C-alpha cells in the first residue's frame, strides 16, 4: 500500500509540473484568433528574414538570436514585458518553428507560469497557407 501511495504521489507531482508549463502549439487559424483577441505576436527572426518574407501585420519584431546564434535572454525578456502581461499570453513565431520552440522553452524554464502560444510551423506555414504578410516598418 505504501509503495502505491509513493508511486501515486510521484505521478501527481509530474503531472502538476506539466500543468504550469504553458506552451500551446498553435496553427494558423488559432494564430488569427489570438491576434483578433489582442494577444501579442512576437516574430523572433532576424531583420533580413523579415524583409525577405514580410511579417504578419501587427507583429512585434524582436530578434532573439543574432546571425551568429548569440542572444541576451534577460534584455529580450525586458522588452517582452513591455508589450505583454508579466506571464503572457504571447504568440512566438520564427521561420519554421525551430527557434521559436527553443525560445518558448527558455521562457518556461525561467517562468513556469508564462502562457505561450508557439506558432508550430512558423511564417513558412503562414505564407504557404496563402495568408498575407506586410513589409516591416
Write down the pTM of the prediction: 0.83
Task: Parse the chain into domains and list their residue ranges.
Answer: 21-128
Give the C-alpha separation, 72 to 47, whole Å.
17
Give the C-alpha separation, 100 to 89, whole Å.
15
What is the DSSP pairing of strand 60-61 with strand 41-43?
parallel
Cβ neighbours, 10 Å, residue 75: 8
Distances (CA, A) of 63 to 2, 113, 119: 52, 23, 16
Give the C-alpha separation, 137 to 130, whole Å.
21
DSSP symbols for 24-48 = EEE-HHHHHHHHHTT--EEE-S-HH
Residues paired with residue 26 on neighbouring β-strands, in sequence order: 119
Domain 21-128: top CATH class: alpha beta
**What pLDDT score does 22 carry?**
79
Q: What is the pLDDT along the chain (137 residues), one digit of tens a residue?
A: 445 433 333 333 444 344 456 799 999 999 999 999 999 999 999 999 999 999 999 999 999 999 899 999 999 999 999 999 888 899 999 999 999 999 999 999 999 889 999 999 999 999 999 999 999 98
Distances (CA, A) of 20 to 29, 30, 35, 97: 25, 21, 23, 22
Amino acid at each position: 500500500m505504501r509503495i502505491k501511495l509513493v508511486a501515486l504521489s510521484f505521478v501527481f507531482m509530474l503531472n502538476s509540473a506539466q500543468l504550469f508549463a504553458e506552451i500551446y502549439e498553435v496553427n494558423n487559424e488559432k494564430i488569427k484568433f489570438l491576434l483578433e483577441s489582442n494577444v501579442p505576436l512576437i516574430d523572433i527572426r532576424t531583420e533580413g528574414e523579415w524583409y525577405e518574407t514580410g511579417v504578419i501585420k501587427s507583429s512585434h519584431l524582436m530578434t532573439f538570436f543574432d546571425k551568429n546564434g548569440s542572444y541576451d535572454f534577460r534584455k529580450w525578456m525586458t522588452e517582452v514585458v513591455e508589450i505583454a502581461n508579466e506571464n503572457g499570453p504571447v504568440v512566438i513565431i520564427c521561420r519554421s518553428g525551430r527557434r521559436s520552440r527553443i525560445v518558448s522553452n527558455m521562457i518556461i524554464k525561467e517562468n513556469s507560469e508564462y502562457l505561450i502560444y508557439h506558432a508550430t510551423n512558423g511564417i513558412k506555414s503562414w505564407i504557404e497557407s496563402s495568408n498575407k504578410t506586410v513589409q516591416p516598418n
